[in-house]
Amino acid sequence: MKTVFDKELIRKYDRPGPRYTSYPPATEFTEKVGEEDYRRKLIESNSRKTPLSLYFHIPFCESGCYYCGCNIIISHRKGIEKPYLERVYKEMNFLTELLDRERKVVQLHWGGGTPNYLDSEEIEEFMEEIKKRFDFSEDAEISIEIDPRFATDHQLETIKRVGFNRISMGLQDLDEKVQKAINRIQPYSLMVETMEKLRSLGFQSINIDLIYGLPYQSRSSFERTVEKVIELNPDRIAVYSFAYVPWVKPIQKRIDPHTLPSAEEKLSILEMVVNKFQEAGYVYIGMDHFAKPQDELAIAQRKGELWRNFQGYTTRKGVELIGVGATSIGMLYDSYFQNYKTLREYNLAIDENRLPVYRGYILNRDDFIRREVIMDVMCNLGVNFEKIERMFNISFTDYFSSELENLKELEADGLIKVSNRRINILPPGRMLIRNVAMVFDAYLKTKKDLKFSKTI
């Protein structure tokens, strides 16, 4: 089922809303939930014997990209990562004292920042330290983000040898004028060489990230980038909307706002992106993700088994995510926890032998019910009333009577179809799944100032 791009509907529904990497979203996290709660919830999680997913945040970059919205530290001087890694090892010690060592790790992801800021020896040592403390399943998904501008052949060979089987890399835009404006010079020839190297090493999955809405971009210029990416033939593609928020991310002050494409041009770029990738055979998974039809994400969505967590779409529902390192977020079955964002606060907590958690959230029964519904909307493009009723022993139509009433406008506009005790997302609604999910969000009803990106 291909997505239909309806500009009028998108204009009507383009409003701020959560991305639903969790429900409730991180805006509901509170500092009233902290380290002691995390210790208790980690211990409780052992009784469920659920598998684990590990996320490690490596905040360092050699060069600052002006569009960046991540929590990073820019430094050409190598060596600053070593004290950080030592503290990450110490945080792992704290965690393994609380977690059942027999629980298998089925997913591992290194994000950042730029994980390949670490040299080959550090990558090898880091993975050894992780594997000393955690037991991995044979079919674990082990992924890493890289910046191809700084990736050497030796690094890539090391990354594959230590066990990584999936890789993701930023490309953003191939236009030279755009690259200069965002301080990220990355020629197409480099991408071709990197893809050839990754293919020869036998990575199971390769993802490329793009960004639309950058300075000097136009529909025609970005179309050339999209065509080149299709030639590169990655397994997955993520196309993110640039959010210009210099009051939040000071590095963005280096971008002249007058060079950004208009809202209309940006919408036209997105329309082209969706159509081009679908014409090339990619499945529009939702939000900003595309995958080949035989990719695990596409298969899981067809089966109604896709899920979301703080890394985005995942095929491993029911896995409990442990975040390690500064700013990382953990996602247990019934609670979420986030580490301190600044290196200073993170380091201080570790040095004082504390888990570096500064805020979190513990779900109530209503959160569980609404999370299941929202994730089905976001991931599987529909909600089966009977499934929700069976899981939570409720009457769907009674519990969500006001929400079903509010869905009537979306149904009248052709975004969804409510019938046979099911909500189905129709092709024009696939671009607006966040808007459908927002109807079931109990927290949005109490918020006047929505601090979220727009849904398109």
Q: Which residues pair with 105 in a beta bridge?
A: 52, 136
Task: Record the tokens describing residue 436, joined without a space.
Answer: 């459908």
Does 1 have pLDDT greater than 80?
Answer: no
Query: Cα(188)–Cα(232) distance, rounded to whole angstroms?
Result: 10
Query: Cα(155)–Cα(139) distance, rounded to whole angstroms?
Result: 23
Tell me the C-alpha to C-alpha distance, in Å, between residue 177 and each of 186, 221, 356, 380.
11, 10, 42, 39
pLDDT in tens, 395-429: 999 999 999 999 999 999 999 999 989 999 999 99
Task: Record the tokens describing residue 239, joined without a space.
Answer: 């196309």
Domain boundaries, the chain: 1-24+364-456, 28-322
Q: Do domains 1-24+364-456 and 28-322 have the same CATH topology?
A: no
Residue with tokens 């969706």: 274
Tell me the C-alpha to C-alpha distance, in Å, between residue 103 and each of 96, 132, 179, 297.
11, 14, 44, 24
Task: Supply φ then ψ for residue 371, to 5 degrees.
Answer: -60, -45
Instruction: Tell me what pLDDT residue 292 has.
Output: 97
Share of the chain above pLDDT 90, in %: 83
Query: Cα(323)–Cα(218) distance, rounded to whole angstroms?
Result: 38
Residue with tokens 């939702």: 286
443-450 average pLDDT score: 72
Q: Are 359 and 30 in contact (CB under 8 A)?
A: yes
pLDDT in tens, 255-303: 999 999 998 999 999 999 999 999 999 999 988 899 999 999 999 999 9
pLDDT in tens, 329-373: 999 999 999 999 999 999 999 999 999 999 999 999 999 999 999
Residue with tokens 């993802």: 207
The class that CATH gives domain 28-322 is: alpha beta
Q: Which three-class secondary structure string do you get for 161-228?
A: HCCCCEEEEEEECCCHHHHHHHCCCCCHHHHHHHHHHHHHHCCCEEEEEEEECCCCCCHHHHHHHHHH
Residues with Cβ < 8 Å from 440, sequence gap 6 or more? 370, 373, 374, 377, 400, 403
The architecture that CATH gives domain 1-24+364-456 is Orthogonal Bundle (1.10)
155-176 average pLDDT score: 97
pTM comes to 0.94
Task: Record the tokens describing residue 115, joined without a space.
Answer: 């994980």
Instruction: Tell me what pLDDT residue 75 has.
Output: 85
Highest mean pLDDT among 6-15, 241-250, 329-338: 329-338
